[in-house]
Structure formats: structure tokens, C-alpha cells
Chains A and B, each alone.
Chain A
């Protein structure tokens, strides 16, 4: 069984200054988002449009996908369909084999993380170079990205410096981000100019025009895609939007929500392969059609992967992305992942305070916190909840339904806490961890009310 989110979070917070730094840094990004959002008087209108366009698209998705495929094919793009991650990986492997390709660069694609493409290809002896700076850092360290927009946000500059010293022979102890980024630039430019195949993700695919848009700040998707003889773009089918004019809405929302930038540096619109180039597009289901059928959870498919919900989440900020152990962490990951594997991810919807901040910042108005709560109910009903949680809840339910027993238990509890404090103040009581237990009151509220309620009511 995999280690629980709570156990990994406990490890993460063991380093207190680092936890504080992680927390503050992500909150800083959240504040930048607020500033950008408040700069537009129509922000709430934009969110509403984004939400409605996505709702409409999901309600007519099969037609839009057919339209998109037809137009993309007419544009000269080779379209593939993959039912799951394994099929996705096989399609890419087949293209690599057909062209006898050695040199592969990949820009950020959470879908390829979800499908474990790198591991799959590595087993076949094929190396893929991740080219997003953050992703390259974690790839060197044999780690997974801890954030979908800021993959190396769990690392400090000293960590990066050490990693680059080992892999890129940079000066030991030189922690200057400028210097380290320059080293990565030289290293990756070398990889770009030699690349034979470029793999990219897709931010938006436009049904009307049969093209797709990829957004980056670094320019790494473009450096690869315009150099390599073969370009493979991978997308979950929910990336479809109806028309090019809708890109205006989503590009206005995306970067502002993600990092507080008015737009990413590069918003590249691919429609046709360049002369002599081969352009493939892999459209992936991998559980998405099932999620579409879950009425309570389908609108999680509206997500545009901005990570605003990560940055605002009090649990994510203090537990780190790796504690989720999924390609997409944070609140949105916690409502997407149980669909993929309910048993393995049963603890994730519980990794939330249900404060609702995620829902408030979501640029396409996904009711994330409500879905977290609904997943909890599904998970308990399906029998995947933690047994101590289930037993505890059942005991509480029984107790609350028997008033005299409840009063008796309360009285006993107060006496026990007074006489034998160690009964509650011990490490087996999770409520005692990092907290002082309250002093047991002399009487219950009911007892107090019976005495005083009538006197005070005039």
C-alpha cells in the first residue's frame, strides 16, 4: 500500500523553516494572482465566460472532438486516439521506432506525467530530456514535479546548485539563480539544436480551426517543436474549446490565475506542420470519459491547469506536492485522482480543510471544495475510507443518537480528563499532537443551560 498523504506531509513539515518558506512562497504567488485579477474590472465576468464555455463544450464534446479531428487532419496533422496511458505511451514509442529517433526533447506536459511516459520509454532504453527548467531540475534529481506550474517549488537554490554542480559541472556553491539558469540555457540549447523529436503538451485545442495552443514562459516548447523533424503533441480530450475567439477568454484567465502575469511570454498557435515536418497529436481518454459520466464530478474536466488552487490551499502549501503522489497534486488533483484509482487515492479528498478558497480562485469556477466533500462520501460508501475514521464516525453517530448515553459519556469523559489527564494527553491521541488539550469544563453546556437559561431569558 502506498504511504498516506498525512504521513508524507508529516515528513515535509518536520523541517519547519523550509515549510514556512514553501508556504510563504506559494502565498506570494497567490497574491500576485490577486493583483492581476483585480486589475481587470471584468474579472468575474471572465470567470463566468470561462466556466460557461467549458460547460457548453463538455455538453457537446463528442461533436467538437469530431470537428476538431476533421480540421486537424485537413491541416496535415496526424491524429491518434489513446484509451489509457499505456496506449498513449505505445503510440509515442511506435513513432520513435519508425523514425529510429535517438534525441528527444519534451516540454511540460502533465498528461505525459499522468501516463508515466518517461519511465515507459526509459524501460525501452530511450532517454527523454525534459526542457522546462523546473522539470529538468527534478529530472536530474530523479524526482517528480511537485507543482504543475512550478515543478521545482519544493527546492531551494542551494539544492539546485548542488544538482547542477553534479550534472552540469557548475561551480560548487554558486547559488545565483541567474548563473544557474544560464548554465541550463547552454545545456538545453545544445539539446534543442540536436533534437529529432519534440514532445509537447497542449493548453487549448480549437475545434473550429483544428489547431492547438501551447503556452510557455521559457520558450522551450517552441525551441523543440520548430527544430525537430517530428513533433508529437499530447492532450487529454477535455482541452477542446469551440472557437478561436474563446482563446481570448482563456488566455486572459490562464497566466493571471497561474502566476499573476498578464499573459505567458509565448502563446504559440500550431495549425500545420512546417514543410518537411511530421506533426502528431495524441488525444487521450485515460478515465476522462468515466469522469464525464459522474454528474457530481464531471466539471473537474473544465480545469485549465493554472494551479491557482494549489497556491491558495492551506494544506498544499504546508504539505508539498510530493505528499499527494499524483501527477496533479493540490485540490484539483484530489478530485481528479480518485476517479483514476479510488482505492489508492482514497485519502486525498480528506487532505483538505474544505475552506473553499480553491473554488473562489478557480478561473473556470469548478466547485472544488464541494467535490472534495462529495468524494469523501463516495469513498466511505465504497468502503475505501481509513478504518479508524469509519469506526470513529460510527461510534460518534451511535453516541449522538442516544441522548442519555451521550450525557453519561460526557460526564465520564470530563471526570476522566480531570483525574487522569494522561488518558487524553498522550501520543496515541492525534488531537493532542502539537496542541494542548483544553481544560475539562466543570459542567456541560446542557447542565449550565438548565441552571441559567431560564433566568436569563426575559
Chain B
């Protein structure tokens, strides 16, 4: 018998009698009157930044200004962005030098400040983690109350990779002192488009 069969047989023999899955009745789950306000307050409490903007043009303008200043950015948002294929092909050595990455998110979560980003939105899986500063853009209507609502809106298996990102990379491994900017992005700014 193979190792796999041994393990599965041992489990089948030893597992208890079947008990049902609970029905998740969400009537008691928290909701927020102003989901944007909640999202902003939580994200700021975990070291992120939020800004409400009237339209995407404001972000595009920032991208243009970054480019004009010769800042090494990767823009996966605007129509004038660099070729997707180029971004996918970038190595870790090159991406390590990216100052700012602009990425669109699918859904934002008011209860914890997280934004879901699909691989197709990152273009390159490494990008949102390795860039020095991360800029996420989300539509105000896509802010949901809780993780339950977030999983209703996404299909995690539809792409090879995806992540909830909540604020900048951080650690408290030295004497529980919070330090922002461990290995990943040193800052995370979320632009919420009204």
C-alpha cells in the first residue's frame, strides 16, 4: 500500500461519525452604516492610508507626475500603462527597484481594511509585495462590510493566485515594537473612487 493509501485509510478508520456542516446564518453579523468610514478608520489604524477621490483621473495624474519625475513605477491601471507582457516578464531583481506600483482591487472589506487583488490585476504576482510603496484603487461601491460578503463577491479558484492585502508590510518581532516595512511594501495607500 502506498503512503497516501495508508494515511487515508487510517483517517477513514479513525475519523468520528459524520456531523453536519453548520448553516452560516448571517443575520447577527456586524454591518456598518458608512462602510467607507469604517474601512478608512480600520486601514489607518493598521498603518495604511485612504483617500476618497472623485474620479480615476486623479490617480492617472499621479502616475503621470511620477513618470515625469523619473520615479520607477509600474502602472497596471491606466490605458497608457506599460505593456502587461513586460510586467509579467520582469524578474525579482528588476521588481525590487520598483518605487511604486499602481494596482486595481476587486473588493475592499470595511471590517479589516483589506483589499482583494486578483493575479490578473497584479499582472505579476510578486509586484504588490516587492514594490517599495503600493497604491491600490477601489470603487466605493465595492466596499463590503465583512469577509463573508467579500467571499460572496470573489471566486478564489478562478485564477492561479489572489490575495487580501491589508495595509503595509509590518512586524513586531523585536520586543513587540511595531515596525512598518518588514519585507513587503513600506506603505499602502488605497484610493477609493466615488
**A residues apposed to B, CB below 8 Å:** 25, 28-29, 40-42, 45, 48-49, 52-53, 55-56, 58-62, 65-66, 71, 75, 81-83, 87, 131-134, 137, 150-153, 155-157, 160, 177-178, 180-182, 184-185, 188-189, 192-193, 206, 208-211, 217-220, 222-223, 226-227, 237, 242, 244-245, 247-249, 251-252, 259, 261-274, 283, 285, 289-290, 292-293, 295, 298
Instruction: For the complex, give the distance between the alpha carbons of A261 and B111 in Å.
Output: 11
The answer to whether B13 and A293 touch across the interface, beta carbons within 8 angstroms, is yes
The answer to whether A56 and B156 touch across the interface, beta carbons within 8 angstroms, is no
B56 at the interface (CB under 8 A from A): no
Q: Which residue of chain A lies nearest to B170 when distances are taken between CB atoms in the complex?
A: A217
The answer to whether B15 and A58 touch across the interface, beta carbons within 8 angstroms, is yes
Closest 10 CB pairs of A and B: A219-B184, A293-B14, A272-B160, A209-B157, A262-B112, A134-B173, A218-B182, A289-B10, A248-B147, A226-B126
Instruction: For the complex, give the distance between the alpha carbons of A55 and B156 in Å.
Output: 24
With A60-B15, A285-B10, A289-B10 already in contact, the answer to whether A223 and B126 are too (CB < 8 A) is yes
Q: Which of B20-28, B64-72, B75-83 contacts A (4 or more CB under 8 A)?
A: B20-28
B12 at the interface (CB under 8 A from A): yes
Residues from chain A with Cβ under 8 Å of B21 in the complex: 52-53, 56, 242
B105 at the interface (CB under 8 A from A): no
Residues from chain A with Cβ under 8 Å of B152 in the complex: 245
Instruction: For the complex, give the distance between the alpha carbons of A270 and B152 in Å.
Output: 18
With A180-B174, A245-B151 already in contact, the answer to whether A133 and B16 are too (CB < 8 A) is no
Partner of B125, one of A185, A226, A298: A226
The answer to whether B17 and A59 touch across the interface, beta carbons within 8 angstroms, is yes
Residues from chain B with Cβ under 8 Å of A58 in the complex: 15-16
Instruction: For the complex, give the distance between the alpha carbons of A323 and B155 in Å.
Output: 44
Instruction: For the complex, give the distance between the alpha carbons of A56 and B20 in Å.
Output: 6
The answer to whether B147 and A247 touch across the interface, beta carbons within 8 angstroms, is yes
Q: Which residue of chain A lies nearest to B91 when distances are taken between CB atoms in the complex?
A: A193
With A192-B92, A263-B113 already in contact, the answer to whether A226 and B129 are too (CB < 8 A) is yes
Residues from chain A with Cβ under 8 Å of B7 in the complex: 81, 83, 237, 283, 285, 289
20 contacts between A and B (CB under 8 A): A29-B176, A58-B16, A60-B18, A81-B3, A81-B4, A82-B3, A152-B173, A160-B175, A181-B181, A192-B183, A206-B156, A210-B157, A218-B171, A223-B183, A226-B125, A249-B24, A262-B112, A266-B129, A266-B169, A289-B11
Instruction: With both chains docked as a complex, state the minimum distance between the C-beta of A347 and any C-beta of chain B, in angstroms.
Output: 27
Instruction: For the complex, give the distance between the alpha carbons of A75 and B28 in Å.
Output: 36
The answer to whether B96 and A193 touch across the interface, beta carbons within 8 angstroms, is yes
Tell me the dominant secondary structure on chain B's binding face: loop
With A262-B46, A269-B162 already in contact, the answer to whether A274 and B113 are too (CB < 8 A) is no
The answer to whether B14 and A272 touch across the interface, beta carbons within 8 angstroms, is no
Residues from chain A with Cβ under 8 Å of B160 in the complex: 75, 270-274
Instruction: For the complex, give the distance between the alpha carbons of A227 and B95 in Å.
Output: 10
Residues from chain A with Cβ under 8 Å of B176 in the complex: 25, 28-29, 150, 153
Partner of B173, one of A61, A150, A209: A150
Q: Which residue of chain A lies nearest to B24 when distances are taken between CB atoms in the complex?
A: A49
Partner of B148, one of A82, A157, A248, A289: A248
The answer to whether A193 and B93 touch across the interface, beta carbons within 8 angstroms, is yes
Instruction: With both chains docked as a complex, state the minimum distance between the C-beta of B56 and any C-beta of chain A, in angstroms.
Output: 25
Residues from chain A with Cβ under 8 Å of B8 in the complex: 62, 65-66
The answer to whether A40 and B30 touch across the interface, beta carbons within 8 angstroms, is yes
The answer to whether B177 and A55 touch across the interface, beta carbons within 8 angstroms, is no
Partner of B166, one of A48, A133, A248, A262: A262
The answer to whether B179 and A178 touch across the interface, beta carbons within 8 angstroms, is yes
Residues from chain B with Cβ under 8 Å of A53 in the complex: 21-22
The answer to whether A61 and B15 touch across the interface, beta carbons within 8 angstroms, is yes
With A53-B21, A262-B112 already in contact, the answer to whether A83 and B3 are too (CB < 8 A) is yes
Interface centre among A53, A55, A151, A219 (most CB of B within 10 A): A219
Instruction: For the complex, give the distance between the alpha carbons of A210 and B156 in Å.
Output: 10
The answer to whether B169 and A265 touch across the interface, beta carbons within 8 angstroms, is yes
Q: Which residue of chain B lies nearest to A193 when distances are taken between CB atoms in the complex?
A: B92
The answer to whether A263 and B30 touch across the interface, beta carbons within 8 angstroms, is no
Partner of B15, one of A132, A227, A267, A292: A292
Interface centre among A48, A60, A182, A273 (most CB of B within 10 A): A60
Residues from chain A with Cβ under 8 Å of B146 in the complex: 248, 252
Can you name 17 extra interface pairs (CB under 8 A) apart from A150-B172, A156-B175, A266-B184? A56-B22, A59-B15, A61-B11, A131-B183, A157-B177, A210-B157, A222-B126, A222-B129, A226-B92, A226-B124, A237-B7, A249-B148, A259-B172, A265-B165, A265-B184, A268-B161, A268-B162
Residues from chain B with Cβ under 8 Å of A206 in the complex: 156-157
The answer to whether B167 and A265 touch across the interface, beta carbons within 8 angstroms, is yes
